[in-house]
Amino acid sequence: MLTLGCALAAGAQIHTETVEYRDGDTVLEGYLAYDTSIQGKRPGVLIVHQWMGLTDYEKKRAEMLAKLGYNVFALDIYGKGIRPKTTQEAGAQAGKYKNNRALLRARAQAGLAILEKQELTDSKRVAAIGYCFGGTTVIELARGGADVAGVVSFHGGLDSPHPEDGRNIKCKVLALQGADDPFVPAKDLAAFEDEMRQAKVDWQLVKYGGAVHSFTQQDAGDNPSLGAAYNEKADRRSWEAMKEFFAELFN
């Protein structure tokens, strides 16, 4: 089932669709965005949402990427209609998948399959990005051996219950972290670095000074003492780092 819509942008016409799909018996609902003024196939970007599920935030990011010339699909990990209203609900949903990495990878792969089969996607040039919970997810997608060019984690959890899975990573990895993020402890960063080194992955880890968790999300507020807060500089710099990474992957 498709619900169609479009938005006009300067020099571009952004088409969006709500796409219903499945992982086994579970019905999921994602969001597709692309620029109709561009002809032919283009690189694809998969977006994985933060712990509140697929929201207007990911849809905005999808449209921003579509304006840059990508075919973009924001997937749904939780299921159609499952959109947490509180942090308690979000924690329960995110925990269900973080405690079952095989299921998390399967849900990510289901979304990746939708992106790859789109007529406008150049399936040999695909990357995945994710925010917070989604950042964890794209790293897990890579650990599962996904055939993508690269993954970008924005303020994601980098821990792994099975660090030996790093050897399955075929793609380039970019992790963008708040240097003062209390939810991603130094031991997790050290373990992530060791995992990447041991597996000989082409990886980068960038830390933004003064930034805490959720630094790309304006609705996180402006009080870093709470552990999660928006940081305009880190938001801007991390987006530019992603763009430079994509230029390396796709050009």
- The answer to the question of residue 232 being in a domain is yes
**Residue-averaged pLDDT of the chain:** 95
User: Which amino acid, 116?
Assistant: E
Residue 32 has φ and ψ, to the nearest 5°, of -105, 140
Q: What does DSSP assign to residue 38?
A: S
- The answer to the question of residue 109 being in a domain is yes
Start-to-end Cα distance in the chain: 34
- The answer to the question of residue 75 being in a domain is no
- The answer to the question of residue 129 being in a domain is yes
Q: What does DSSP assign to residue 24?
A: T
**How far apart are the C-alpha atoms of 222 and 118, rounded to whole Å?**
39
Residue 10 predicted with pLDDT over 80: no
Q: Tally the domains of the chain.
A: 1
Q: Report percent pLDDT > 90 for the chain.
A: 95
Domain span including residue 215: 39-54+82-250
Tell me the CATH number at 112: 3.40.50.1820
- The answer to the question of residue 234 being in a domain is yes
- The answer to the question of residue 61 being in a domain is no
**How far apart are the C-alpha atoms of 33 and 16, rounded to whole Å?**
4
Q: Which of 146, 28, 113, 115 is nearest to 76 (CA)?
A: 28
The pLDDT score that the predictor gives to residue 11 is 64
Beta bridge pairs of residue 46: 73, 128
Q: 4: pLDDT confidence band, cut at 50, 70 and 90?
A: very low
**How far apart are the C-alpha atoms of 65 and 219, rounded to whole Å?**
20
Query: How would you label 9-48 residue by residue, b for 16+ Cβ within 10 Å and e otherwise?
Result: eeebebbbbbbebebeebebbbbbbbbeeeeeebbbbbbb
Residues in Cβ contact with 77 at an 8 Å cutoff, skipping those fewer than 6 apart: 28, 48, 49, 53, 97, 104, 107, 108, 111, 133, 137
Q: Note the pLDDT tens digit of each residue in 214-231.
A: 999 999 999 999 999 999
Q: Note the pLDDT tens digit of each residue in 68-100.
A: 999 999 999 999 999 999 999 999 999 999 999
Q: Detail the DSSP E strand segments found in the chain.
A: 2-9, 12-23, 26-35, 42-48, 71-74, 121-131, 150-154, 172-178, 203-208
Residue 7 predicted with pLDDT over 80: no
Q: Note the pLDDT tens digit of each residue in 41-71.
A: 999 999 999 999 999 999 999 999 999 999 9
- The answer to the question of residue 21 being in a domain is no
* Contact criterion met (CB below 8 Å) for 94 and 140: no
- The answer to the question of residue 67 being in a domain is no
Q: Note the pLDDT tens digit of each residue in 90-129.
A: 999 999 999 999 999 999 999 999 999 999 999 999 999 9
Beta bridge pairs of residue 42: 121
